[in-house]
Amino acid sequence: MISCQQDTAVVILSYNGRKWHELFLPLIVAEAKTGYDVIVVDNASTDDTLSYLQENYPTIKIVQIAINNGFSHGYAEALEQIQAKYYVLLSTDFEVTEGWFPPLLHAMQRYQGLAACQPKIRYYRDREYFEYAGAGGGFMDKFGYLFCRGRIFNDLEKDHGQYNDDIEVFWASGGCLMIRADLYHKMGGLDPDLYAHMEEVDLCWRLRNAGYKIGYTGQSTVYHVGGSVISYGSPQKLYYNFRNSLILLLKNERSSKLLWLFPLRFILDGIAGLQMLLSGNVKGMFTIIKAHFHFYGSLGKWLKRRKENKKLITHRLTSAIYPKSIVWQYFALRKKTFPKLKWEPSKLD
């Protein structure tokens, strides 16, 4: 068991991540003086990451995972071995900035009922723009589709200070997620069976169903390379997009809503597959079919998880859910930036 000297453990899950550590670890370690311990979780790397860390960063604590079973499993196993008041889950391909940590800690200390929060996430390769995985805070529409301020589907906004506020969000990015350690464990943590993608949304949804808020603070900025493990637009990404989206709904949504939402999502996913077929993306269509078959093939497991989650529900928060269809707004009405939605999320208080 690792006991941290500071209240916060910045936990970096690493798989063959030496090149990212060479780029980003120096500033992460330098900024540790602002109030956190640095812990690297080596998720069964096959390169020389471990020896590089041991030789160049002897003061960093290291947790070794014997078998790589994905992002969620790596954190699930590692965090059982780390004692701290707060965790910051930080992916290897994130670049922090000077002063990135204090605003996150301040938000956790200031706002009542806040279980987790994220910083502003900008794109490492085009630094004036928000980044896909988190951007200016994550939301869900009434049909269970996910999007962000600063990023709707694949359209990214340029950051000109429009999202420098502190707001309540539906989900915070797992790439840079600060969370209360006791609540992380109380709510069951990241679900290892999701493997990768949307696991943080699942955790945030469980926290919200227990009456806790999820936040975003624009006073902290980090940069994300993105697509370094599962490439954006890849069949693997598409598969987890469709499969895990269905799992999240089944695990966390109200029964009364699922009665009409599941048939509708089946139709909408079918339309998405048909569009891929008509555009010549046959592989994409079969990937969606595969995702559905795998979801229904493990239905018993997900129903069991739903039953477990229901025991934790105390007061479902209905804020931070966009009351319309983001798909309709984006594709039919051509509203491709957040301000065009004419919808304001709640400020943190």
pLDDT of residue 236: 87
Separation CA 129–CA 118 (nearest Å): 17
The token pair that represents 236 in the structure block? 């693997």
pLDDT of residue 195: 78
Inter-residue contact 173 to 139 (CB < 8 Å): no
The token pair that represents 77 in the structure block? 């196993």
pLDDT of residue 234: 78
Q: How does residue 227 score in pLDDT terms, banded at 50, 70 and 90?
A: low
pLDDT of residue 230: 53
Q: For residue 237, is pLDDT > 90? A: no
Q: Is 157 helix (H, G, I), strand (E, B) or coil?
A: coil
> In which element (H, E) is residue 222 found?
strand 213-224
Separation CA 261–CA 233 (nearest Å): 26
Q: For residue 231, is pLDDT > 60? A: no
pLDDT of residue 197: 81
Q: How does residue 71 score in pLDDT terms, banded at 50, 70 and 90?
A: confident
**What mean pLDDT is predicted for residues 285-313?**
95
Q: For residue 228, is pLDDT > 50? A: no
pLDDT of residue 349: 87
Helices (H), 218-254: 235-252
Listed in sequence order, the residues at least 6 apart from 110 whose beta carbon sits closer than 8 Å to its beta carbon are none
Q: Any idea which architecture 2-224 has in CATH?
A: Alpha-Beta Complex (3.90)
Q: For residue 88, is pLDDT > 70? A: yes
- Return mean pLDDT, the chain: 94
Inter-residue contact 196 to 70 (CB < 8 Å): yes
Separation CA 93–CA 71 (nearest Å): 13
Inter-residue contact 116 to 180 (CB < 8 Å): yes
Full-model pTM: 0.95
pLDDT of residue 96: 98
DSSP string covering 103-156: HHHHHHHHSTTEEEEEEEEEESSSTTBB-TTTTT-EEEETTS-EEETTEETTEE
pLDDT of residue 123: 97
First-to-last C-alpha distance (Å) of the chain: 35
How deeply is 114 buried, as exposed, middle or buried, from its count of CB atoms within 10 A (0-12, 13-18, 19+)?
Answer: buried
Per the DSSP assignment, residues forming a β-bridge with 62 are: 40
pLDDT in tens, 92-124: 999 999 999 999 999 999 998 999 999 999 999
Position 50: which residue type? L
**What mean pLDDT is predicted for residues 190-215?**
93
Query: Strands 82-83 and 86-91, how do they pair?
Result: unpaired
pLDDT of residue 271: 92
Phi, psi of 130 (to 5 degrees): -70, 160
Among 29, 46, 51, which residue's Cα sits nearest to residue 38?
29
DSSP 8-state symbol, 347: B
